[in-house]
Amino acid sequence: MSELAESNRNWSVLLLGGPSGAGKTSVSYALARRFGVGISEIDDLYIVAKDFTTPAQQPALHAWDTHPRAHDLTAEQILEMHIAACRVMSASIEAVVANHLETDTPIVLEGDYLLPEVPARIRSRVAAVFLYEPDEAQIVRNFARREPDGGEQAKRARVSWLFGRWLKDECRRLDLLALPARPWTTVVDRIVEALDRKTSRHDSGAPA
């Protein structure tokens, strides 16, 4: 790790959340390179948790697979299912964060299953940023670029847009950072600057 990266890092764990299709995975790898730290995807925790549980044990994690008419649900109903699954995952995310804090192993953790309430409960040595895309049509385009054979993406994009809006409101309520993903060419710099400003305000005792 470079001395410059170390000196500019005021956290041991950086949590990066946001809806699918907002571009946070690419951003997370750029941030990990910027700070010279490791990276892990929270979505991998979800895969493990789902694989090692049954629908009876964790119904929220298996809701999409077990709902008899899941594809007929509204975007709002799908979002409720997703948030419920996120809440189940929160304990696992917090355990991973706690391990990295205990071992003093810096890391960027990113994924769709992160809720603002997690970093709100662990303020010390943990930074968090949530990305959102305010333009629903842009999310459709993002999905189409990423998955050209993915078929109709309108409802999926609607869910992501709704989730981004919900995350933005929650971040405002909990005094956490929420930033628009675009312009993509400046997003990493904007995140770093926002983290620096927030740290400076907290250190000075000024309201965030």
Given a cut of 70, is residue 75 above it in pLDDT?
yes
Given a cut of 70, is residue 207 above it in pLDDT?
no
Band the pLDDT of 150: cuts 50, 70, 90.
low
Band the pLDDT of 203: cuts 50, 70, 90.
low
Given a cut of 70, is residue 131 above it in pLDDT?
yes
Average pLDDT over residues 97-104: 96
SS3 content of the chain, % helix, strand, coil (to 5): 60, 10, 30
Residue with tokens 């049954």: 54
Given a cut of 90, is residue 201 above it in pLDDT?
no
Model pTM?
0.91
**Between the CA of residue 23 and those of 19, 57, 131, what are the distances in Å?**
9, 32, 8
Band the pLDDT of 186: cuts 50, 70, 90.
very high
Given a cut of 60, is residue 45 above it in pLDDT?
yes
Return the SS3 of 73: coil
Average pLDDT over residues 59-81: 95
Q: What is the pLDDT of residue 20?
A: 94
Q: pLDDT tens digit string along 167-176?
A: 999 999 999 9
**Would you say 132 and 18 are in contact if contact means Cβ atoms under 8 Å apart?**
yes
Average pLDDT over residues 140-166: 89
**Domain regions of the chain by residue span:** 3-199
Band the pLDDT of 8: cuts 50, 70, 90.
confident
| CATH number for the domain running over 3-199 | 3.40.50.300
Q: What is the pLDDT of residue 2?
A: 44
- Residues forming beta bridges with residue 178, ordered by sequence position: 130
Average pLDDT over residues 173-199: 95
Q: What is the pLDDT of residue 199?
A: 74
Band the pLDDT of 4: cuts 50, 70, 90.
very low
Give the separation between CA 174 and CA 208, rounded to whole angstroms.
Answer: 11
Average pLDDT, whole number, for the chain? 91
